[in-house]
Structure 1
Amino acid sequence: MKKTLLLVLFTLTTVFAAQAQTRFGVKVGANYSGFEGDRADNIGYERRFGFHAGVMANFPVVDDFFSIKPEILYSQKGAKLDDLEEIKFRLGYIDVPVLAQINAGPLYFEAGPQVSFRIQDKIEFDNSSIDIDSDDLKRTILGYAAGIGLASTPLGLSIGVRYNSDISTLYDSDDDANFRNGVFMLSLGYMFPSR
């Protein structure tokens, strides 16, 4: 199954690259993340700031109007509690969104599915950091992303805002809290070659 999926992805990438000018780029930005779900609201989790950084590609499908934009990003997520002392839940993921992008002049709209792979899980309090017992946390999470932005095609620069959220919960067990990550992102990007 994995070999078939890789073959399909390779074929699609080759077709897109042969038919259009494929562009690659980098992006970096700020995250404003929190836990969502009924129990998360009751406990009183607050959002915390983090960052994201990674690479992206743009495969035009219909001239400059419609394209497919896959990305690979390292993204800091989590939340914090401020009741007695500040406790920060720091979760790190590799996010792989595959977005459909519609360009309307300098304005663009994007949306699509996302898969996230957890690579870090820590709790910080009293100026110390401890690893979470992560056996109950899902290693892979499915989600979605949607955003809007401005792009200068001749310069290759873009600025965008995006919201992404998990569809599946953070925990494997139904007995655990139904927390999900929800992240607002502000990104700066550069696509090369600029045209």
Structure 2
Amino acid sequence: MKHLAHIRIYTTMLLVFLTFLAGITTTSAQSNNPGPKFGIKGGLNLSQLYVDQPNVEDENMKAGIHFGVFGKIPINSFVAVQPEVLYTNMGSKISYGGSDFESVFGIESGEIRFNLNYIQVPIALAVNVGPLNIHAGPYLSYLLSANVNNWKSSESSPTEIRELETDDFNKIDYGLVVGVGFDIKNVNVGARYNYGLRQVGNDGLAGNLTDNSKNGVGQIYLGFGF
């Protein structure tokens, strides 16, 4: 049932995205601006939660991927709106060394890996200077799934923390994106940073482990427009 709910949410987001593009396309055509561009994109994520706790010994970025579709709809020859629908992996790798988590939550000292999978809808305003574009805007994400693995210092393989489920994390995330890219004919390359404005964990163990931290994700991407 959860998978069906996820599909319905993804379909709704995609319909909103296509409706938005259709409206902007009509406006663009009526104003004699250059036509819109649509395409696919994907790339590398480097994410981190920036947890600040006495028991945290170290934090490292977690590698992931993102991919999806985008549109670039000119407002004039210098400014364009760039909406996207993306599947994106986020999370973090956090090393805990204190005994509090073991005694209270049954988690041994070691590395906790947070794996958070979202559908993300950023809508950026892009300023174009030749092939260079600088873009920024808000994003809204929906959490599809989450799992947390405990790489205990006493074991060589991870153990899933079964007390933590997707419902222990906030389903809705939102924040800002800012980035820079190059448009070379039909090829788009660039880098972007996602700055989350909502805490990841909601209550209980998830809230205690993440200490109300937010998503922070750097991205490198490659896209093809048509």
Output the TM-score relative to the length of structure 2: 0.72
**Mean Cα deviation higher: 163-172 or 65-74:** 163-172
Query: How far is 1:138 from its partner?
Result: 0.8
Q: Residue 81 of structure 1 aligns to which amino acid in structure 2?
A: I
1:88: how far off? 1.6
Residue 43 (structure 2) aligned to one of 5, 25, 29: 29
Question: Which AA in structure 2 matches 1:75?
Answer: T
AA aligned to 1:47 is M
Q: Deviations over 1:43-75 (max 9, x none)?
A: 633211111111000111012x11000001111
- Corresponding residue of 1:109: 134
CA separation in 1, counterparts of 2:54 and 2:40?
Answer: 33
Q: Does 1:77 align with 2:90?
A: yes
Q: Do residues 12 (structure 1) and 26 (structure 2) align?
A: no
CA distance in 2, matches of 1:43, 1:71: 37
Once the two structures are overlaid, the 10-residue window that deviates more, 133-142 or 28-37, is: 133-142
Q: Which has the larger radius of gyration?
A: 2
> Which structure's residues are more often helix, by fraction?
2
1:97 equivalent in alignment to 2:122? yes
Q: Distance in 1 between matches of 2:21 and 2:133?
A: 26
Specify the alignment match of 2:194 in structure 1: 164
Deviation at 1:40, TM superposition (A): 9.5
Corresponding residue SS for 2:29: helix
Higher strand proportion: 1
Deviations 1:98-132 (A, max 9, x none): 00001101111000000011011012342454563
| 1:76/1:11 CA distance change after superposition, 3 Å | closer
Secondary structure of the residue aligned to 1:118 is strand
The runs of 5 or more residues in structure 2 that have no matched partner are 1-11, 97-108, 152-156
Unaligned runs of 5+ in 1: none
CA drift of 1:42 comes to 5.1
Report what 1:52 is aligned to. 66
| Structure 1 pair 31–181 and aligned structure 2 pair: CA distance change class (3 A) | same
The C-alpha deviation readout for 1:118-163, integer Å capped at 9, x for no partner, is: 01101234245456333331101111100011111x3x10110100
Q: After superposition, where does 1:156-195 map in structure 2 within 5 Å? A: 156-173=186-203, 176=208, 177-192=211-226
State which drifts further: 31-40 or 21-30: 31-40
Higher RCO (CA < 8 A, seq sep 6+): 1
Answer whether contact 2:194 2:218 (CA < 8 A) is retained: yes
Once the two structures are TM-superposed, the CA of residue 36 in structure 1 deviates from its matched residue by 2.6
Q: Give the structure 1 partner of residue 178 of structure 2.
A: 146
Q: Figure out how many residues of one structure are paired with residues of the other and give that number.
A: 184
